[in-house]
Amino acid sequence: MTRRHFAMTLGALGLWAFLTSPARADADPAAVRGTWTGPWYLGMTSGIAHLSLSGEGALEGTLQMTNNERFGEEAARLTEAAFESGTLRFKVTGADGKALAAELPLSGDGTRMKGFGKYGGYSVRFELSRQK
């Protein structure tokens, strides 16, 4: 292996280590704190989701989903929330007692989160935008 190949390999390994490090900025919960709104889809049903995230250290928040009688019209408190590796993961229990668990990757510019969740055995798609 030439010195050039060795240097390129070492540089690639360093970049990989940086990108996969848990201490990256995209693991900072501040990146997702605030209010997020946008459509949700479950089969042929849809509505508007309102996700509010706050908290000094760990993330706290609520989720409200319009047009979903099973989940309920009122905002439900998140039971778990974490932002790791550029993805928001949260759990919340609907009015019917069923858990919704979702994973929403944050866009590169930090203005959108699009992803899926499971609720009552069905997939729910979220397309949320940061509100100002």
Q: Is 74 helix (H, G, I), strand (E, B) or coil?
A: coil
Domain presence at residue 13: no
> How many structural domains comprise the chain?
1
- Residue 58: pLDDT band by 50, 70, 90 thresholds? confident
pTM of the entire predicted model: 0.78
pLDDT at residue 15, rounded to an integer: 45
Domain presence at residue 56: yes
Domain presence at residue 76: yes
Residue 59 belongs to domain with CATH number: 2.40.128.20
Exposed, middle or buried, 15 (CB in 10 Å: 0-12/13-18/19+)?
exposed
Q: Do strands 99-105 and 122-130 pair parallel, antiparallel, or not at all (unpaired)?
A: unpaired
Instruction: From residue 56, give the alpha-carbon distance in Å to each of 30, 92, 93.
Output: 9, 20, 23
pLDDT at residue 132, rounded to an integer: 81
Q: What is the pLDDT of residues 73-101, one digit of tens each?
A: 999 999 999 999 999 999 999 999 999 99
Domain presence at residue 63: yes
**Full domain range(s) for residue 52:** 25-130
Q: What is the pLDDT of residues 3-30, one digit of tens each?
A: 655 545 555 555 444 444 443 445 788 9
Q: Are 23 and 29 in contact (CB under 8 A)?
A: no
Domain presence at residue 86: yes
Domain presence at residue 62: yes
